[in-house]
Amino acid sequence: MTSRDTILASLRQNRPPAPEAVRPPSDYGITYPDKQARLAEALLPAGGELIPCSRAELAERVRAAWPEAKKIFAPSLPELHNVPMPEAGIDPKIYDNLDLCLIEGRFAVAENAAVWIPHEDGKHRSAPFLATNLALIVPDGQILDNMHQAMARIAASPLPEAGAFIAGPSKTADIEQCLVIGAHGPCMMRLFLVK
Amino acid sequence: MGHAEAATKFNLDAERTGWHDKALWFVRAKRDKAAASIPEWEQLRTLAEGIKAETLNRLPELLEQFEAACTRNGVKVHFAVDAKEHNAIVLGLLQKAGAKKVVKSKSMLTEECGLNPVLYKNNIEVVDTDLGERIVQLRHEPPSHIVLPAIHTKREEIAELFAKELGTDPANADPTYLTRAARGDIRKRFLEADAGITGVNFAIAETGGIVICTNEGNADLGTSLPKLHIACMGLEKFLPKLEDLGVFTRLLARSATGQNITTYTSLFHKPRPGAEMHIVIVDNGRSAMMGREEYRKSLGCIRCGACMNTCPVYRRSGGHSYGSVIPGPIGSVLSPGMDPAAHSSLPFASTLCGSCTDVCPVKINLHEQLLAWRGDLAKAGHVHIAKRLALKAASKVLSNTTLYRIAAKALRLTPGVLMRNKTLNPWERSRDLPPVPPKTFRQLWKERKPQS
């Protein structure tokens, strides 16, 4: 018998009785009268900052936020992008030491400031994690209240090969519970909410 | 060495014990604040408990569903009956790919299986990339907490360690400085790695997806750079549907560290183009635990560590005193299930105050299970004869009115010098018994005038 079959047989033999199935109703979870205000509030303890702006002024605002940034990955803003474009077969390591990665998120979640970033084609999965600074872009109409809405939204569309909720810059408190912003990923993160 | 002896050693340094206690209480207080910010918090716990119960009942079918979905997604699923088979599978995959350098992001399962020593022996370099795990790896010790692996170490000790290992300034114990030094060192290792090993927080049966939660971004780097990703998981990690993540992502970080969500909650369904993804599903005693009615609920654990942070015994005895991969209340119910003889002291490392049960996001009845284990271990002969006899005597005295009165009188007549002797009465070692009141409750009751 294979290990797979051994495990399945053991699970079947030890199966507990069926409990009553519980699931939250479709409109479940906390909601916020002013989602944008809550998003800004939740982003602060996560170590990020919310910047509302118009699509037209986005490039300028990003530039102003990181005037020192030289190596910039921003496929959706060609006027800023100055590293090789992500394409099939590209070595993910070339994005090491990016000064800035700018990436479009699908939606943000007000309860916890998480932004959903689907990695559609795997070409630039590494960029948002290798960059020193991270700019996430979300349309201002795309703020959900909570994670129930977020997961329902993800489940309703074709699944990307991978994706990540990102809430703020990378961080750690593994040394005496002291919060340090900038562990292995970005040391600074700003969320641009575009009109 | 049992827990009590190890804890006694930990307690020799009173200053450090107090510091450890406070550090964890700080995390517990943050958890309370985060939980209180969600009006439906208690409902969420009930939902999580229910979804996990459903998962256990449907586990064989969920497993098959998961495997089929993974196959469709181009992900290879492996099954391991025990730790040894798990290690052999992982080693085999690494060897087949010719991998010599491996980056690993936090996985308590690979700790449980003892993977690292097996890889070292086969000349494979493995670097734990979570900062806390890296610290304990360099110190050649196991994690002392499942979420905060190095919570027992002080910044000065880390400064000394990094000075030796990474060439930092031994006099600089600034956490930001030390973290940046580790970042620089580990970044190089991410870029050079041939393979990334990760744990799994949740596996979605319906879609074949796995979810990994970190704050540091180490799992994302470890999976987006090398061409081989091996994810290792216990078979209890399943959730039936993608939507169930709504419930569990709301509970996990709030319970663990008081954050609203971890910085990264990453969902993996397919390998990157040109890369390989493997998932190793491990039983190692879990399916047997499922057959034990009074303990099976412990398989719902999502490894948040809230029960440790709140436990008065854990906070004052440190994770290493448990001598098991998972310490604290949850470790004390899981470990005896794996090896009763080796972990027989753990269910006694509790005051049965029930605080662990109160904070558990999936409502595991931890204190009840700890009590049940005490009985089972005594029945199986794993409890020391002195403790067994003392408890037997206590049960006789406490269940018999006459005996109880005689014993109480005898105790009242015992000279204070004897009662307060720190050798004869271990309770006196770190506390003072209050003075004995002149009259017993019974005497006071008798003297009370009958009420009109």
Over residues A25-76, the pLDDT tens digits come to 989 999 999 999 999 999 999 999 999 999 999 999 999 999 999 999 999 9
**Which positions 21-50 of A are in contact with B (Cβ < 8 Å)?**
21-24, 28-30, 42, 45-46
Three-point CA angle B279, B94, B301, nearest 5°:
35
Looking at the structure, tell me whether residues B341 and B271 fall in a common domain. Answer: no
Looking at the structure, tell me whether residues B367 and B397 fall in a common domain. Answer: no
Q: CA-CA distance, A41 to B74, in Å (whole number)? A: 40
B6 to chain A, closest Cα gap in Å: 22
Domains, chain A, with CATH or none? 29-194 (3.40.50.10420)
Last residue of a domain, one of B243, B259, B284: B284
Looking at the structure, tell me whether residues B42 and B188 fall in a common domain. Answer: yes
**pLDDT of A21 over the 90 cut:** no
CA distances for B409 relative to A123, B401, B414, B439, angstroms: 80, 12, 9, 11
Classify residue B166: in a domain, yes or no: yes
| Residue of chain A minimizing CA distance to B131 | A174
Mutate to test the interface with B, among A176, A178, A188, A189 (most CBs of B within 10 A): A176
Cβ-nearest to A126 among B218, B225, B265: B225
Confidence of residue A112 (pLDDT cuts 50, 70, 90): very high
Classify residue B173: in a domain, yes or no: yes
**What's the distance, Cα to Cα, between the start and end of chain A in Å?**
60
Residue B183: list chain A partners with CB under 8 A: 182-184
A19 to chain B, closest Cα gap in Å: 6
pLDDT digit string (tens) for B382-425? 988 888 888 889 999 999 999 998 988 888 888 777 778 888 88
Q: What is the pLDDT of residue B385?
A: 87
**What's the distance, Cα to Cα, between the start and end of chain B in Å?**
60
Instruction: Show contacts of B430-433: CB within 8 Å, 24+ apart.
Output: B430/B11
Cβ-nearest to A164 among B81, B225, B267: B267
Kindly determine whether residue B260 and residue A46, on different chains, have CB atoms separated by under 8 Å: yes
Last residue of a domain, one of B238, B259, B284: B284
A47 to chain B, closest Cα gap in Å: 9
Q: CA-CA distance, B65 to B366, in Å (whole number)? A: 31
Residue A123: list chain B partners with CB under 8 A: 273
Looking at the structure, tell me whether residues B50 and B169 fall in a common domain. Answer: yes
Any idea what the CATH number is for the domain that residue B228 is in?
3.40.50.10420
Q: What is the pLDDT of residue A122?
A: 59
Looking at the structure, tell me whether residues B69 and B177 fall in a common domain. Answer: yes
Reading the block at residue B247, the tokens are 């419930």
Kindly determine whether residue B264 and residue A165, on different chains, have CB atoms separated by under 8 Å: yes
Q: What is the pLDDT of residue B414?
A: 81
- Name the E strands within B144-200: 195-198
Size of interface A-B (CB pairs under 8 A): 260
Residue B175: list chain A partners with CB under 8 A: 175-176, 178, 180
pLDDT digit string (tens) for B12-54? 999 999 999 999 999 999 999 999 999 999 999 999 999 999 9
A153-157 average pLDDT score: 95
Residue B235: list chain A partners with CB under 8 A: 7, 11
CA distances for A190 relative to A48, A56, A73, A98, angstroms: 5, 18, 15, 16
Q: CA-CA distance, B415 to A108, in Å (whole number)? A: 70
Cβ-nearest to A11 among B60, B155, B274: B60
**pLDDT of B452 over the 60 cut:** no
Kindly determine whether residue B260 and residue A146, on different chains, have CB atoms separated by under 8 Å: no
Looking at the structure, tell me whether residues B264 and B340 fall in a common domain. Answer: no
A16 to chain B, closest Cα gap in Å: 5
Kindly determine whether residue A151 and residue B243, on different chains, have CB atoms separated by under 8 Å: yes
B128-141 average pLDDT score: 97
Dihedral pair phi/psi, residue B322, rounded to 5°: -80, -20
Kindly determine whether residue A175 and residue B155, on different chains, have CB atoms separated by under 8 Å: yes
Looking at the structure, tell me whether residues B45 and B133 fall in a common domain. Answer: yes
B253 to chain A, closest Cα gap in Å: 10
Looking at the structure, tell me whether residues B187 and B278 fall in a common domain. Answer: yes
Paired strand residues for B275: none
Which runs of consecutive H residues, i.e. helices, occur in B304-365? 306-310, 312-317, 328-338, 355-359
Classify residue B33: in a domain, yes or no: no
Confidence of residue B451 (pLDDT cuts 50, 70, 90): low
ipTM tops the 0.90 cut:
yes
Q: How many residues does chain B have?
A: 452
| Residue of chain A minimizing CA distance to B86 | A3
CA distances for B297 relative to B51, B120, B244, B338, angstroms: 12, 35, 18, 15
Q: How many residues does chain A have?
A: 195
Classify residue B91: in a domain, yes or no: yes
Classify residue B291: in a domain, yes or no: no
Q: Which residues contact B249 (CB under 8 A, 6 or more apart)?
A: A147, A151, A165, B211, B213, B261, B265
Contact between residue A114 and residue A108 where contact means Cβ atoms under 8 Å apart = yes
Contact between residue A161 and residue A119 where contact means Cβ atoms under 8 Å apart = yes
Classify residue B171: in a domain, yes or no: yes
CB atoms within 10 A of CB B81: 18
**pLDDT of B440 over the 90 cut:** no
A116 to chain B, closest Cα gap in Å: 9
Classify residue B293: in a domain, yes or no: no
Looking at the structure, tell me whether residues B119 and B230 fall in a common domain. Answer: yes
Mutate to test the interface with A, among B267, B268, B280, B289 (most CBs of A within 10 A): B267
Looking at the structure, tell me whether residues B277 and B409 fall in a common domain. Answer: no
Last residue of a domain, one of B379, B403, B436: B379
Residue B198: list chain A partners with CB under 8 A: none
Lowest mean pLDDT among A115-129, B125-139, B143-157, B201-215: A115-129
Q: What is the pLDDT of residue A121?
A: 63
Looking at the structure, tell me whether residues B120 and B177 fall in a common domain. Answer: yes
Residue B47: helix, strand or coil by DSSP? Answer: helix
In terms of residue numbers, what domain contains B61?
Answer: 38-284
Confidence of residue B439 (pLDDT cuts 50, 70, 90): confident
Number of domains within chain B: 3
Classify residue B20: in a domain, yes or no: no
Cβ-nearest to A17 among B57, B225, B269: B57
| Identity of the residue numbered B75 | V
Residue A117: list chain B partners with CB under 8 A: none
| Residue of chain A minimizing CA distance to B226 | A92
**pLDDT of A120 over the 80 cut:** no
Q: What is the pLDDT of residue B303?
A: 97
Q: CA-CA distance, B245 to B251, in Å (whole number)? A: 10
Looking at the structure, tell me whether residues B120 and B155 fall in a common domain. Answer: yes
Report which of residues A67 and B106 the model is more confident about.
A67
Confidence of residue A149 (pLDDT cuts 50, 70, 90): very high
Tell whether A165 is within 8 A of chain B (Cβ): yes
Residue A180: list chain B partners with CB under 8 A: 175-176, 179
Q: CA-CA distance, B387 to B46, in Å (whole number)? A: 37
Tell whether A18 is within 8 A of chain B (Cβ): yes
Mutate to test the interface with A, among B133, B260, B277 (most CBs of A within 10 A): B260
